[in-house]
């Protein structure tokens, strides 16, 4: 009995289904990502003293072209210069090891760190990397928690006043109109001669420091900051929007046992879901006792502690209740907060300690592909010629069956290319010449 038509094999339908599942669906996902992300538009940032090159506008940018590593696409390099005089080769090697550990912990695996001579360190990566995160990873990493004694954001000056002083101010009697009349005081004369009241310095702040604070402006002044943990300092937040007087350090790097990046899901006003990133600090026993004592004193007040990294205030927060378990969470600065990458980078700084000597960011310059444009072009030409000869042999030797083999190679090549583009989107993968060779083989 002959088999029915419904039970016959349909190779064409099978092949079409295979192509849809293996090629069209992944390519459709990539296309949707490109359309929704805007294709990775770039924005020029920086200036003569900053990281002066193009940065991707969105960390989750998607493109049809896979991101390339330094050997294929080139990138940029920032040069770190030691600020001390007695710097040895051993100190530079130790600093390079610390930076590499931080970069790996922050999942920035495509960054190259090397000694470029004269005790300078070169940090190189492709242009697609988040350079703001890299810049934070290679910072010195001096972390301190200090009490906020005063702050000024340009609109309002806040100072710390002990409770007894507040009571005295509240209990002070205002002069009445009868008293003014009896003393022969003319209200109009008072209005003409009245001057802006002079605010005295808060407790623990000298008059000289208070006067300096009044004249201090964020920007050029922050460069001269001496981050001495034993004295009160004047500094600013990362954005240069608010200036602070901070008391001596109460908790530092030594009291932090471990730091971990953490995420929390929330919802925007329109109901859309969003993920917020934070860094959890776990203190050792002495640090836990200090934090418990201080937060017990500050609980329920507007007084704050500032989290300071390399002299700049990352976060300043008050405490509605004491923290007695030694676990402190920070959400980053008040304007942008943490992203996933910056949270991991900040945690990496704390986990792997400060650099053995202080480094300052020197020049930043673009670097060409390390293999050279000519070599890349020659390699691509050789690959195309070899592929064409292979396809010609298949068609000559197998005739019609050769078309099937060519079609299979085309589908496999398209699938591999789409996989590379998706990997660049999802994992930050960067295509190198070694990967190209592996794909051809």
Q: What is the pTM of this model?
A: 0.64
Render 229-265 in DSSP notation, one character per residue: TTS-EEEEBTTSS-EEEE-S-SEEGGGEEEEEEEEEE
Give the C-alpha separation, 381 to 370, whole Å: 18
**Tokens 């407790």 appear where?**
203
Q: Is 382 helix (H, G, I), strand (E, B) or coil?
A: helix
Task: Let me know: does 256 contact 143? Beta carbons within 8 Å.
Answer: yes
**Per-residue model confidence as pLDDT tens digits over 320-355:** 999 999 999 999 887 778 888 888 888 988 898 888
The residue whose two tokens read 């806040």 is 158
pLDDT of residue 271: 78
Alpha carbon of 433 to those of 302, 426, 437, 439: distances in Å?
57, 21, 6, 10
Using DSSP's 3-state secondary structure scheme, residue 380 falls into helix
Burial of residue 64, with CB atoms counted within 10 A of its CB: 0-12 exposed, 13-18 middle, 19 or more buried = middle
Long-range contacts of 171-175 (CB under 8 A, 24+ apart): none
Question: pLDDT tens, 146-196?
Answer: 999 998 886 656 666 555 444 444 444 444 444 444 445 455 544 544 555
Tokens of 216: 């201090």
Which pLDDT value is given to residue 171?
A: 46
Higher-confidence residue: 422 or 10?
Answer: 422
The partner residues of 265 in beta bridges, in order of sequence, read 275
- % residues pLDDT > 70 (the chain): 70
What pLDDT, on a 0 to 100 scale, did the predictor assign at position 292? 95
* Average pLDDT score over residue span 365-375: 66
Would you place residue 43 in the very low, low, confident or very high pLDDT band (cuts 50, 70, 90)?
very low
Confidence of residue 304 (pLDDT cuts 50, 70, 90): very high
Q: What is the mean pLDDT of the chain?
A: 75
3-state secondary structure of 190: helix
Span between the terminal Cα atoms of the chain, in Å:
49
In this structure, how many other beta carbons lie within 10 angstroms of the beta carbon of residue 434?
Answer: 10
pLDDT given for residue 224 in this prediction: 54
CA distances from 325 to 286, 292, 300, 301, 305 (A): 12, 8, 18, 20, 17
CA angle 364, 366, 367 (to 5 degrees): 120
What one-character-per-residue DSSP string does 2-27 give? PPPGGGS--HHHHHHHHHIIIIIHHH
């Amino acid at each position: 009995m002959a088999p029915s038509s419904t039970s016959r094999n349909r190779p064409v339908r099978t092949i079409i289904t295979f192509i849809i599942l293996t090629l069209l669906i992944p390519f459709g996902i990539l296309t949707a990502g490109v359309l929704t992300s805007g294709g990775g538009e770039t924005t020029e940032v920086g200036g003569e003293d900053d990281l002066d090159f193009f940065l991707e506008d969105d960390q989750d940018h998607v493109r049809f072209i896979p991101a390339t590593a330094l050997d294929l696409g080139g990138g940029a390099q920032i040069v770190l210069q030691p600020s001390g005089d007695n710097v040895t080769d051993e100190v530079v090697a130790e600093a390079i090891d610390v930076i590499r550990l931080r970069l790996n912990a922050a999942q920035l695996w495509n960054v190259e760190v090397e000694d470029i001579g004269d005790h300078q360190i070169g940090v190189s990566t492709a242009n697609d990397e988040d350079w703001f995160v890299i810049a934070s990873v290679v910072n010195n990493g001096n972390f301190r928690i200090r009490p906020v004694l005063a702050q000024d954001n340009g609109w309002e000056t806040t100072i710390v006043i002990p409770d007894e002083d507040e009571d005295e101010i509240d209990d002070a009697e205002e002069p009445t109109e009868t008293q003014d009349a009896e003393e022969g005081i003319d209200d109009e004369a008072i209005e003409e001669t009245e001057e802006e009241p002079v605010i005295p310095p808060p407790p623990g702040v000298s008059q000289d420091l208070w006067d300096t604070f009044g004249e201090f402006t964020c920007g050029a002044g922050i460069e001269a900051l001496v981050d001495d943990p034993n004295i009160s300092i004047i500094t600013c937040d990362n954005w240069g929007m608010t200036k602070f007087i901070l008391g001596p350090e109460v908790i530092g790097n030594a009291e932090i046992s471990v730091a971990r990046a953490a995420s929390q899901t929330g919802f925007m006003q329109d109901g859309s879901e969003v993920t917020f990133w934070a860094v959890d600090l776990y203190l050792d026993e002495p640090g836990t006792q200090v934090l418990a004592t201080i937060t017990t004193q500050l609980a329920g007040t507007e007084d704050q502690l500032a989290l300071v990294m390399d002299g700049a205030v990352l976060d300043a927060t008050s405490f509605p209740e004491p923290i007695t378990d030694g676990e402190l969470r920070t959400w980053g600065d008040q304007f942008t907060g943490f992203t996933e990458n910056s949270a991991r980078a900040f945690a990496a700084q704390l986990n792997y300690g400060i650099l053995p000597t202080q480094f300052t960011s020197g020049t930043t310059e673009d670097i060409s592909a390390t293999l050279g444009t000519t070599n890349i072009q020659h390699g691509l030409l050789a690959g195309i010629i070899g592929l064409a000869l292979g396809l010609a042999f298949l068609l000559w030797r197998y005739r019609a069956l050769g078309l099937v083999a060519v079609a299979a190679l085309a589908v496999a090549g398209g699938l591999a290319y789409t996989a590379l583009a998706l990997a660049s989107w999802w994992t930050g993968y960067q295509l190198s010449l070694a990967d190209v060779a592996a794909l051809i083989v």
